[in-house]
Amino acid sequence: MPATCPDVDADDLSRGERFERSRERSHARRLLALRRRRRQRGSRSLAVVLAAALTIGSGGAFAATAGDGGGSSGVLKRGSSGPVVVQLQQKLGIPADGAFGPQTEKAVRRYQGSKGLEVDGVVGSQTAQSLGISLATAKAQSLRSSGGGGGGGGNVKLPAILDSIAQCESGGDPRAISSDGTYRGKYQFDRSTWASYGPAGDPARASEAEQDRRALKLYKARGTSPWPNCA
């Protein structure tokens, strides 16, 4: 029996070492799990902060500085129209109809590429500065043109005959366009007649108030003859 005691003691010692090593491994695993949870909480907190910053920025400084087209003075892009678009088209050496369409966007991209600017087809602050165009003027014109919606075209007082013509020509829809694209807007102006009474552009993209004003000018100059089928 005494001869077997050393073996028992050695075995007990071996189990004790295994126990200590197991406890150390468990402690290490708990520390690792704790660190992972802290990192995950930190990542979620950072994500929340970034999301809040982007949400706030989308209506403020972030939007104003994002890319060439984010200037605070407005931009010129596909769908824009008016005198500043005419100026832009003249600067680019393309037909100046006052409507920013695919041809104008392509010309803008070509210009941006030649000048080392961001090629996005949008005339923002950098492109406008390079071209010598005032975006502040474009923004002011946009605000003026958007202020006219509503029946009777805002502050423009129309004779009853023009209301009747508008209903006959387009159903009173300022965005109406004829099937062949020639006649546009509430009074179905063609582009050449439209340009005769103000800046060139697309009648169907102008505010209703602007369409009423030009229709009134046309009516005073030529009576009902421009609308032979509806007068």
pLDDT in tens, 164-210: 898 899 988 889 999 999 999 999 999 999 999 999 999 999 988 89
Residues 140 and 163 in one domain: no
Q: Which whole number is the average pLDDT over 197-225? A: 92
Domain assignment present for residue 86? The answer is yes
113, 146, 179 - which closes a domain: 146
CB atoms within 10 A of CB 194: 25
Question: Whole-angstrom Cα distance, residue 33 to residue 116?
Answer: 51
Which CATH number is 195's domain given? 1.10.530.10
Note the pLDDT tens digit of each residue in 88-131. 988 999 987 778 888 999 999 999 999 999 999 999 999 999 99
Q: Which whole number is the average pLDDT over 24-51? A: 63
The answer to whether residues 113 and 64 touch, using CB atoms and an 8 Å cutoff, is no
CB atoms within 10 A of CB 167: 13
Question: Whole-angstrom Cα distance, residue 107 to residue 88?
Answer: 10
Residues 163 and 201 in one domain: yes
Report whether pLDDT(136) > 80: no
Q: Which amino acid is at 98?
A: G
Residues 162 and 216 in one domain: yes
Domain assignment present for residue 191? The answer is yes
Residues 116 and 157 in one domain: no
The model carries a pTM of: 0.38
Q: Which amino acid is at 51?
A: A
Residues 132 and 159 in one domain: no
Say how many domains are in the chain.
Answer: 3
111, 131, 146 - which closes a domain: 146
Task: Write out the residue range of the structural domain in which residue 215 sits.
Answer: 151-222
146, 164, 181 - which closes a domain: 146
Domain assignment present for residue 209? The answer is yes
Q: Which tokens sit at 173? A: 């829809």
Domain assignment present for residue 62? The answer is no
Domain assignment present for residue 33? The answer is yes
Phi, psi of 25 (to 5 degrees): -65, -40
Domain assignment present for residue 93? The answer is yes
Residues 53 and 114 in one domain: no
Question: Whole-angstrom Cα distance, residue 202 to residue 188?
Answer: 11
pLDDT at 110: 95
pLDDT at 169: 92
* Three-class DSSP labels, the chain: CHHHHHHHHHHHHHHHHHHHHHHHHHHHHHHHHHHHHHHHHHHHHHHHHHHHHHHHHCCCHHHHHCCHHHCCCCCECCCCECHHHHHHHHHHCCCCCCECCHHHHHHHHHHHHHHCCCCCCCECHHHHHHHCCCHHHHHHHHHHHHCCCCHHHCCCCCCHHHHHHHHHHHCCCCCCECCCCCCECCCCECHHHHHHCCCCCCHHHCCHHHHHHHHHHHHHHHCCCCCCCCC
Which CATH number is 141's domain given? 1.10.101.10
